[in-house]
Amino acid sequence: MKSRIQALVCAIVVFLASCAVFERHAGETVNVPPPIGTTERAVRTPDGLRRFLVHVPRNAPMRRFFVARRYPLLILLHGSGEDGKIIEDMTRMDSVAERYNMIVAYPDGARSILGKISSDWNSGECCGYASRQGVDDMSFIRAIIDDLSKHGIVNPRRVYVAGFSSGAELAYRAGCELSDRISAIAVVSGSIALDHCHPPRAVSLLAIQGTADDEVPFDDDIPDSLSMPDRPWANNVTPSVKYWSALDGCTFEQNSQVSTHVRRTEFTGCRDSDVALYTIAGGVHGWPDVEEPGSRDSTAVAPMHELPASEMIVRFLLQHRR
């Protein structure tokens, strides 16, 4: 009798385990916090199941008065035709996150039947499959925040969004529409594509832009519906940064030379926020990084190797909380 009971218990355990495996294979998010390292998760959105990678650092948040501190969260958005894995590798953000003890999520953009070639974001009144289909990427970002926050591992006051190219456009949109959830954004080679942007709360911004970018020009216009503010002292920045400085009530700018080709423009007097732009003279469309000696030929894009973008972005973001 005892052996039959044991066999029944074992059968139940095996059944439940197989159900859990099926659930994972079906793409559902398992209702447990993500483990240390990089794993894939999925969340339900109005557009169906959406996937993302998430990297959890090895070291747990420090405790204070016997209460565990929660991790900051950075949601990092890829460019058109790419996916979360590509920007994870391109930015080397995992290693930076390990040093600064933060969680990084790498979402996948919506894909048409053509597959990865058409993966992109609905960043506003621009272009691409996601925009034409009205994909609700704001709900996707909220779902990622909710999924990781419900396990008590994310500090809700330290949630950030950053992006490259079309991902940068979506980061701008997140700053416009999700100011109740995020405190700062960072954009690389991107501009505002949304025709309305009036966040009720100030959101800090760090932008990085090359002057020789042939995909997102340095002087890329913002939508006509966004009235450009009268800021005669902000003529050496991108139109998107100029507009954002007005949103945040900034009153003046200070310029400093960071390296041979990199200039930092920092705005002052902003309303509970910071706004800054790194201008890379001769910089092209790409993610800047400090070159490792002998790793590649940098003669054509040397200015892009004067700024460790991932490091600078994380340092800036972590200075801000809601």
Residue ranges of the domains in the chain?
Answer: 32-317
Q: Residue 19: what pLDDT?
A: 39
Neighbours of 25 (CB within 10 A): 8
For the chain, strand residue ranges (E) read 37-45, 48-56, 63-64, 67-68, 71-77, 103-107, 110-112, 115-120, 154-164, 184-188, 204-210, 252-257, 262-268, 275-280
* 271/262 Cα distance (integer angstroms): 26
Are the C-beta atoms of 114 and 81 separated by less than 8 Å?
A: no
Report the alpha-carbon angle 260-266-267, nearest 5: 155
CA distance 313 to 303: 18
pTM for this prediction: 0.87
**In CATH, what is the architecture of 32-317?**
3-Layer(aba) Sandwich (3.40)
Both tokens of 51, joined, read 């996937």
Which residues are CB-neighbours of 107 under 8 A, at least 6 positions away? 50, 51, 52, 75, 77, 78, 84, 140, 141, 144
Task: Return averaged pLDDT per consecutive 10 residues of the chain, 322 residues in all.
Answer: 45 39 43 92 96 94 69 97 96 97 96 66 85 93 97 95 97 98 98 94 97 96 85 82 93 94 95 96 94 51 92 97 90
